[in-house]
């Protein structure tokens, strides 16, 4: 906006403002009604849904569902979709939100036209609606994704029936332990921060896998407790991972 447009705006605004009503009590009345509605909605949500508490933290194992609150579903979904393209995962999880933030911050500085009526701002209308649709879609699909700790793989061919049984048992332990939160296993789990485990059996010997499970690099939790408390589960876990060729 140039100086003339600024002065034109200020002049028109002062006329509209002078034709208005005092903030108190007219606007305050509307705001108070709205505040009462907000309080009522919060109370009803609390009464209806409460604040249930999940199982207590257990950094070593057991089932859990690492899901964010609904307002982070869109980020969660970007992460889930982009994990198949490791090259772009960081760009998607950090780059896209950062870019969106910068675009939001700078909005008044790149959109400098004096026009305010949305029907005469086609670019703003289109990009605003597109943003809403994209966020709504990502939130919706983020909300409908299966729990990331479900692991479902088809066992490699050429296994004996007993080996398939171990495979299935190990798969269950992997799901319960929530490895998928940080590791990708086939089509399951998140790509990162841990390395993908899809072909871990061809890269590490069973002994090395067991050693890593007992003595992992942070932030991966140690599975030494599991090995101590239920050696069968631990053995299934190691054998399952070794079968991932």
Q: Please identify, using beta-carbon distances, which residue of 82 and 210 lies nearer to another protein.
A: 82
User: What is the size of the binding site for another protein (CB under 8 A)?
Assistant: 88
Nearest to residue 67, comparing CAs of 150, 187, 186, 9? 150
Pairwise CA distance, residues 240 & 155, whole Å: 9
Radius of gyration of the chain, Cα coordinates, nearest whole angstrom: 27
Smallest gap from residue 185 Cβ to another protein (A): 16
Q: Is 215 in the site for another protein (CB under 8 A)?
A: no
Nearest to residue 244, comparing CAs of 134, 143, 166? 166
Smallest gap from residue 171 Cβ to another protein (A): 19
Q: Please identify, using beta-carbon distances, which residue of 22 and 158 lies nearer to another protein.
A: 22
User: Residue 167's CB: how many other CB atoms inside 10 A?
Assistant: 20
DSSP notation for 222-239: P-HHHHHH-HHHHHHHHH
Smallest gap from residue 10 Cβ to another protein (A): 8
CB under 8 Å to 103, separation ≥6 — which residues? Answer: none
96, 172, 181, 224: residue in contact with another protein (rule CB under 8 A): 181
- Please give the residues from 88 up to 147 whose contact with another protein meets the rule CB under 8 A: 89-90, 93-94, 98, 101, 104-105, 107-109, 111-112, 114-118, 121, 124-125, 128, 132
- Angle, to 10 degrees, between the axis of helix 161-177 and the axis of helix 231-243? 110
Smallest gap from residue 92 Cβ to another protein (A): 10
Q: Please identify, using beta-carbon distances, which residue of 6 and 199 lies nearer to another protein.
A: 6
Smallest gap from residue 162 Cβ to another protein (A): 33
The neighbouring-strand residues paired with 185 are 188
- Please give the residues from 24 up to 53 whose contact with another protein meets the rule CB under 8 A: 24, 26-28, 30-31, 33-35, 37-39, 41-43, 45-47, 49-51, 53
């Amino acid at each position: 906006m140039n100086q003339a447009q600024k002065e034109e705006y200020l002049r028109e605004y002062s006329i509209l403002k002078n034709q208005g009503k005092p903030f108190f009590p007219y606007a305050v009345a509307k705001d108070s009604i709205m505040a009462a509605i907000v309080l009522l909605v919060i109370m009803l949500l609390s009464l209806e849904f409460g604040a249930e508490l999940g199982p207590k933290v257990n950094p070593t194992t057991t089932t859990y569902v690492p899901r964010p609150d609904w307002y982070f579903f869109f980020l969660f979904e970007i992460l889930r979709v982009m994990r198949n393209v490791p090259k772009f995962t960081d760009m998607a999880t950090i780059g896209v939100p950062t870019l969106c933030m910068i675009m939001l911050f700078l909005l008044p500085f790149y959109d400098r036209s004096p026009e305010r009526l949305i029907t005469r701002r086609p670019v703003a209308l289109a990009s605003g609606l597109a943003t809403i649709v994209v966020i709504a879609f990502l939130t919706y699909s983020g909300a409908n994704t299966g729990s990331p700790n479900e692991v479902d793989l088809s066992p490699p061919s050429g296994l004996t029936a007993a080996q398939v049984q171990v495979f299935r048992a190990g798969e269950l332990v992997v799901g319960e332990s929530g490895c998928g939160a940080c590791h990708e296993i086939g089509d399951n789990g998140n790509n990162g921060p841990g390395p993908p485990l899809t072909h871990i059996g061809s890269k590490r010997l069973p002994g090395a896998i067991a050693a890593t499970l007992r003595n992992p690099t942070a932030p991966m939790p140690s599975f030494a407790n599991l090995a101590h408390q239920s050696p069968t589960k631990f053995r299934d876990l190691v054998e399952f991972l070794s079968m991932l060729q």
